[in-house]
Chains A and B, each alone.
Chain A
Amino acid sequence: MSTQPATENKPGPVQDAAPPARTATTLLGYGRERVERARGGEMGSLPAVAGLIVLVVFFWIVQPGFLSLYNIANLVTQAAPIIILAMGLVFVLLLGEIDLSAGTASGVCAALMAVMIVRHNMAWYFAVLLAVITGAVLGFVIGWLRAKARIPSFVVTLAAFLSFQGIVLMQVGKAGSISLPDQAAKPIITLEGYNNNLMPLWLGWVMLAVVAGGYALVKLRIAVSRRSAGLESEPTLVTVAKTAAMVILGAIFVYILGENRAIQQNAFFNNLKIEGIPWVVLLLIVLTVGLTFLLSRTRYGRHVYAVGGNDEASRRAGIRVDRIRISVFVLCSLLAAVAGVVQASQLESVASNFGAGNTLLLAVGAAVIGGTSLFGGRGRIMDAVWGGLVVAVIQNGMGDLIKGANSQAWQWIVTGLVLLLAAGFDAASRRVGGADSR
């Protein structure tokens, strides 16, 4: 409570004399409010974005190849499965729960998809659908065990983590890996740019126009309706600046990925062209927009935050807390299935250790680095995007930075330390926000 201005301790009548204006927000007022929020522990994705810039600059200085056209495209495809897995974890973390099984759940779903395509000649779309449904069912079971049987989520999902790993092993069998066939699974492996099947250049620009235009339109609509209702709204300049930043960054991204990034230029490959955005970016945008809408604009999303903030208060307010709790596990495992499909697309195969190892750690790290709290109640979908990019940059940069026998070891150590740093940051911001003083 140390951040409270001293004026608030005066009794009512004194304050009645000076009512604050509630209709218009000045740029200064907006800035002041944001600073105040940041000081109260609501940093949002700001640290993640700052960290991303620092990391990119660092790796670029140390090894200029890091920002090569080829590697930038690589980063995107590398980050995609981490981001999608982290999106699911945001829901679970918002309730102050944890899902340790998300990684291996993605393995079960991806392996099922691969088995169905390869061994049972199932059409790829049915196989994907089956994988996603399986994810939802797994999530329901986990959520039920947590919400109704009242087993702590840590234990439920640790148990699931282990058994799912066994299931993947069983599904994949002695071969150790199932390759996704070029023909039968083509749309799946195209997602992450197999055989340089990328978005046509024009579609990249159309996508940018739709996203930026849609963003500006939504912001405008909100601003107009709020002003007509006599409520304070974001300053126009801020909206314009945000949209402009989005257009500029998006344009740079689309332009860079539109350049030919083929490395080999010799007699055989001199007319090879690798240009365009991987299709998975479209999937990421659809998921980001859809899930952000779900969390911030619907009743359901509001209830997820409420249960994460105070489940007893939510119960008294008539919210069906158990249903919300089960639903976040369903969403998490469902998105894990999607992440599994994307990961399988990247690897073009499903191995027996799919989704095990540090898959989950990276995704949890992504969500937390992005600004989602491990204590529940705070987090957004964009956190997963920013955090996922940070994690992918670390992985990618570290992979080339330290050569030799211990390269892998250092990658693990550094990723672990970054996760610890993010969690420490989370705990510290929570203390600043005063939530610990209860």
Chain B
Amino acid sequence: MTETTTSATPRTAGSGEPILKLRAINKSFGPVHVLQDVDFEAHAGEVTALVGDNGAGKSTLVKCIGGTYSIDGGDYLFEGAPVKVHDPRDAASLGIEIVYQDLALCENLDIVGNMFLGRERVSGWRTLDENTMERMAGETLSGLSVRTVKSLRQQVSSLSGGQRQTVAIAKSVLWNSKVVILDEPTAALGVAQTAQVLDLVRRLADRGLAVILISHNMRDVLEVADRIVALYLGKTAAQVQRADVTQTQIVELITAGHSGNIGLLPTANGNGNGNGNAAQVAEVLGIADGIADEPAAVADAAADAEAAAGTEETDGTDGVQGAAE
């Protein structure tokens, strides 16, 4: 099967309107205000890394995007137009696919069976159209330059972790999706397989998809992301271009919510000295000053972050790699 160039739209990195834009999203579970005026953007042709500490609201945000949770307030704009997403099917019909961490594959089915699970093609006599499905699956995989699987008729149980991740990702792009959300795709993988999957993530974006990557692994984020959105205690700490920040700054955004003049501006209650560790201590002690912030402050902070992103040009990641881990 030769290389196909299925819908290889030219890359429009960072330019123009975001394909997915969330404005001042709020979500509460009872008294717990999990997402507070969260802003989020994802652009076609870009990998947007969504980072944040445990409990920062990453999963909640993703589930709001995917329609598992419906948002309490705020704007959900898809391709510039406001949309209502109350159900996973709403998201799927917009072209948003989520690859969950557990992959949701049936080990006893082959690759083709898994990629078409629940959306099988049938021909006359309502029989499965295996040929068409196998051809489409093959085209999708080779379109993503995936050549690590021997046969499309291999059972998933015989695949390695990286190959399974590949199948799950390929499944999500089979349906002309426009936004693919990957939840910790490399969490369970070894070094070589992580490299393969990150390679694939890059290719997805190069094909013109908006890829949202959730990861705890700073190395993955630095390697593959074009933009980084950091959440801190349910708020958007910063949305920055990857090239504009250092690893140290990202770590500070994750742990403290701000770094220098990027991020949520510290309030005047004692730990606003730009020291990430102090903020973390405060968090552990349950002070969690960020929650007391005014929404206006968040907006300001976001604006500052944009401004900062434009001015600061630092790139010393290789020097400090591993410092975060």
Spell out A's residues near B (CB within 8 Å).
Answer: 1, 3-4, 8-13, 15-16, 19-20, 22-23, 33, 36-37, 40-42, 225-226, 229-232, 297-299, 302-303, 305-306, 308-310, 312-314, 316-319, 377-378, 433-435
Contact = CB atoms under 8 A, between A and B. Distances in A.
Contacts of A297: 127-128
B192 A9 contact: yes
A23 B151 CA distance: 11
A12 B120 CA distance: 29
Nearest to A23: B1
A435 B145 CA distance: 28
Interface string B94-114: 000000101111111100010
Interface residues of B, number: 44
A231 B135 contact: yes
Contacts of A230: 1, 135
B218 interface: no
B151 to A, nearest CB: 7
Nearest to B98: A316
Given A4-B160, A42-B155, A306-B117, A12 B148 contact: yes
Contacts, number: 122
B157 A314 contact: no
A40 B157 contact: yes
A226 B195 contact: no
Given A299-B126, A319-B118, A433-B157, A306 B135 contact: no
B147 A306 contact: no
Nearest to A320: B118
Interface of B: 1, 88-89, 100, 102-109, 113, 117-120, 122, 126-128, 131-132, 134-135, 138, 145, 147-148, 150-152, 155, 157-158, 160, 163, 190, 192-193, 195-196, 199-200
Contacts of B200: 12
A305 B108 contact: yes
A309 B120 contact: no
B144 to A, nearest CB: 11
A15 B128 contact: no
Nearest to A434: B157
Given A11-B195, A317-B119, A309 B109 contact: yes
Contacts of B105: 310, 313
Nearest to A303: B118
Contact of A12 (B102, B117, B199): B199
Contacts of A20: 147, 150
A298 B127 CA distance: 5
Contacts of A319: 117-118
Contact of A15 (B108, B126, B147, B151): B147
A20 B117 CA distance: 25
19 contacts: A1-B160, A12-B199, A40-B157, A229-B132, A231-B138, A298-B122, A298-B126, A299-B122, A305-B108, A306-B106, A309-B108, A310-B104, A314-B118, A316-B100, A317-B104, A317-B117, A377-B107, A378-B108, A435-B107
Contacts of A434: 157-158
Nearest to A299: B120
